[in-house]
Chains A and B, each alone.
Chain A
Amino acid sequence: MEEEINSICDGEKTIRFREVTKIYPLPAGDVVALDRISLDVEAGDFIAIMGPSGSGKSTLLNLMGCLDTPSSGDLCIKGRNIRGMNDEELTTLRRDHLGFIFQQFNLLPLLTALENVQYPLILKTGNRECRDRCLDVLLAMDLDATLYSHKPSELSGGQQQRVAIARALVNDPEILLADEPTGNLDTKTGTAIMNLLQDLNQNRGKTIIMVTHDPVIAKYAQRIIRIVDGKIT
C-alpha cells in the first residue's frame, strides 16, 4: 500500500491530484466540494482557476496549500503524498514549499512590513538576523524603503500586497498560491501586481496557481482551469 501511494507521486509533477474527492459533512447532508478531481501541475506553470461561487475552487486551492486534506484520492505536493500527513508535517510543508498570497493581504498587524517578511524566514531558520535576505526580497517588490518600518495599517492596498508577496517569497518556495490577489485593488495597482507575479513566473520559475473571478486577470495565466460543481470542465 505504502509503495502504491508513493508510486502515484513519482515523476516531475509539482502538484498531482488523483481522483481527489473532498466532502464536507454537514448536518443537512454531506456536501461534495470536489468530485474525483485529477489534475497535474508542472513546475513553472501559471494556472488560473475560475468558476462560480461555491464551485469548489477555494477547496481546490486549500488542498494545494496543504490547509486541508482530501476525503479520498491522492494529492502529491513536490512528490510527497499529503494523505495521512499529520498537522505538523503539513505545516512544515506549507512553510518550506508554499507561498500564500491572499485577497485581503493578511499581513500580521502587530509587525512592520520588514518584520512581516522576516517572520516565515525566522520560523524556518530560527535566526532573527536575516535582514539581508528580507531586504533583497522587498527590494525586488519595488517598494519604497522608507515603508519597511511601517505597520500594515499605514500602507496602501497595493503596498500591502507587495509586502505580502515578499513574505510569500522569502523562504524561496517553488509554488505560489494566490487567492484573488487583485480582488481588493484598483485596476492599475492590480495590473502592477499581476505583472509582478508574471515576472516571478517567467523569470524566477515560480509555479503559480491563482483563483480569480476576473477574466482579464485570468489572461495572465498560461492555463485556465474551470471548475463547476466540484468538477473540472
Chain B
Amino acid sequence: MKSGMFFDFARRNIRLHWLRSLLAVLGIIIGVVTIVSMGILGNGLVLAISDSLSSVGDSIIVSPHAGGMGFGGGNAPDLISERDFEQIRRAVAPHITIPVYSGSSRMKIGSEDVVGVVYGLKPDDIPILLEIEEGTYLRGSSSAMVGAQFAEQNDIRVGSRISVGDKGSLRVVGILKERGMGFDINPDFGIVVEDRWFENAYNKAGYDLVIVKVKDLNQIEEVKNEIDRQLNRRETVVDVIDTKAILETILTAFNQISTFTTVIGGISLIVAGVSILNIMLMSVTERIKEIGVLRSIGTQRGEVRRMFLYEALILGIIGSGIGGVLSIIGGYAVSLVMLQTTEYLFVPSSLIYIVYGVAFGVGTSLVSGFYPAWKASNLNPIEALRHE
C-alpha cells in the first residue's frame, strides 16, 4: 500500500508540472517511434530481399574454373564437359543436376534488333527451375519461352516469332513468370530454348553451368564438398558456390544495415532519456525542501528513491505506450515509402520491434531516473529542510 502512496505522489507531481512532463513524454514517443520504425524498415528490407532470393537458396552452382586453362584435357577452358557433368551427377546423386547452356545473341523480333541471353535447358529440367506465367512449357525444338522483362520490353506475346542470329527462327510458346535476381540463371532478360536446339545452333563442347538442386538445405555443405573432392582432385576444374552462402552474406549485410538504422533510432531514444534525466533533476532541485520534510517525518531513503523512480517510470510507460501505438503508423508509413509495400509490417519479426522499442523506452526512462532518485534520497535532511 505504501507503494501506492508513492506512486500517487509521483503521479501528482507529473500532473503539477504537466508541460515539461508532456515534453519529456514527447521525447520518449519520438524515440520509440524512431527505433521501432527503423527496426521495422530494416526487417522489412531483409524480408523483402530474402523473399526475392530464397527461391534459389537451395542451389549449388558449378561453373568452369575461372582462369583455368584445361591442360591436356582437350576441353575449352570455360566449359564443363559431358564427362565432368557425368562425374558431378554421380557425385551428388540423388540430388537433381541441371546442365545449362547459355550465351547471348543478337535477335530479331519483328523489325527490331535486340541482344538477349539465350539459355538452353533440357525440357524435363525446365519446370524445376522456371514457372510459366502465360502459355506452355517448350513444345518441340523450335519453340521458345521468353523472360517476363524481355517480353514486356520487346512486346513479345505467345505466338510471336524470334529470329536468333543466323540460327533460325523460334516460336514463342510461353512467357515466364518474373523470377527476380538469381545466382544461377537470369531468364527475365532472355529466352529459354531446348538444349537440343542450342547444341545444333552453337555446337558447344560443354555446358556453361551446372545447377544442383539440393533437397535438404542442411546437406548443401556436404554436397558442395563432394563435388569439390570428385572434380578438383588434381587441378581446379570447376568453381562450386552455393547460393545459400551468397544469400547469407547478403542477408548479413542487410541485417547490419537494419541494425545500424535501429541504432540510430536508439540514439534518439537516449536523447529522450537525457531529457527525462533533465526534468527529473529539475524536479529534485525544486523539491529539496519537500524531500527534507519527507525525510524528517520518517520517510526512508529507499522510499524517497522509489517516489522519484516511479515518476520516471510513469513518464516512460506513457511515452513508450503511446510511442508503441504510433510506431505501427510510423512503421506503416516508412514501409510504404521505402519498400513500396506493407506486407512485411504485420509479421512477428517486425512487430517484435514494437515490444523492443517499448521495453527500451521504459528502460531508458528508468535508467534516466536513477541518478536523480539517488540524488534526492541522499540529501542531508537538515540541509534540505533549510533550503529555500
Interface residues of A (CB under 8 A from B): 62, 65, 67-68, 87-88, 91-92, 94-96, 100, 102, 106, 108-111, 119-120, 122-124, 126-128, 167-168, 171
Interface hits, B2-35 → A, CB 8 Å: 2, 4-5, 9, 12-13, 16
Q: Which has the most chain A C-beta neighbours within 10 Å: B293, B294, B297, B299?
A: B297
Please indicate the chain A residues that have their CB under 8 angstroms from the CB of B305 in the complex. Answer: none
Contact with A along B325-341 (1 / 0, CB 8 A): 00000000000000000
CA distance A75 to B295 in the complex (A): 20
Chain B residue at minimum C-beta to C-beta distance from A95:
B298
- Say whether, besides A67-B382, A119-B5, A128-B4, A94 and B297 are in contact (CB < 8 Å): yes
Give A167 Cβ to nearest chain B Cβ, in Å.
7
Q: Do B9 and A95 have beta carbons less than 8 Å apart?
A: no
Does B301 reach chain A (CB closer than 8 Å)?
yes
Does B1 reach chain A (CB closer than 8 Å)?
yes
Interface hits, B278-301 → A, CB 8 Å: 289-290, 293-301
The 26 sampled A-B contact pairs (Cβ below 8 Å) are A65-B296, A67-B295, A67-B382, A88-B301, A91-B298, A91-B301, A94-B296, A94-B297, A95-B299, A102-B385, A106-B289, A106-B385, A108-B290, A108-B293, A109-B290, A110-B13, A110-B16, A119-B297, A120-B297, A120-B298, A123-B2, A123-B298, A123-B299, A128-B4, A128-B5, A167-B297
Give A82 Cβ to nearest chain B Cβ, in Å.
14
Does B381 reach chain A (CB closer than 8 Å)?
yes
Does B303 reach chain A (CB closer than 8 Å)?
yes
Known: A67-B381, A92-B298. 9 other contacts (CB 8 A): A67-B385, A88-B300, A92-B300, A94-B298, A95-B298, A100-B296, A123-B297, A127-B1, A167-B297
Q: Which has the most chain A C-beta neighbours within 10 Å: B296, B298, B303?
A: B298
- Say whether, besides A67-B381, A106-B385, A96 and B298 are in contact (CB < 8 Å): yes
Chain A residue at minimum C-beta to C-beta distance from B303:
A123
Q: Do B297 and A128 have beta carbons less than 8 Å apart?
A: no
Chain A residue at minimum C-beta to C-beta distance from B15:
A110
- Say whether, besides A94-B298, A119-B297, A110 and B4 are in contact (CB < 8 Å): no
Chain B residue at minimum C-beta to C-beta distance from A168:
B297
Chain A residue at minimum C-beta to C-beta distance from B377:
A87
Q: Do B382 and A68 have beta carbons less than 8 Å apart?
A: yes
Give B2 Cβ to nearest chain A Cβ, in Å.
5
CA distance A113 to B369 in the complex (A): 29
Q: Do B303 and A128 have beta carbons less than 8 Å apart?
A: no
Q: Do B296 and A122 have beta carbons less than 8 Å apart?
A: no
CA distance A65 to B292 in the complex (A): 13
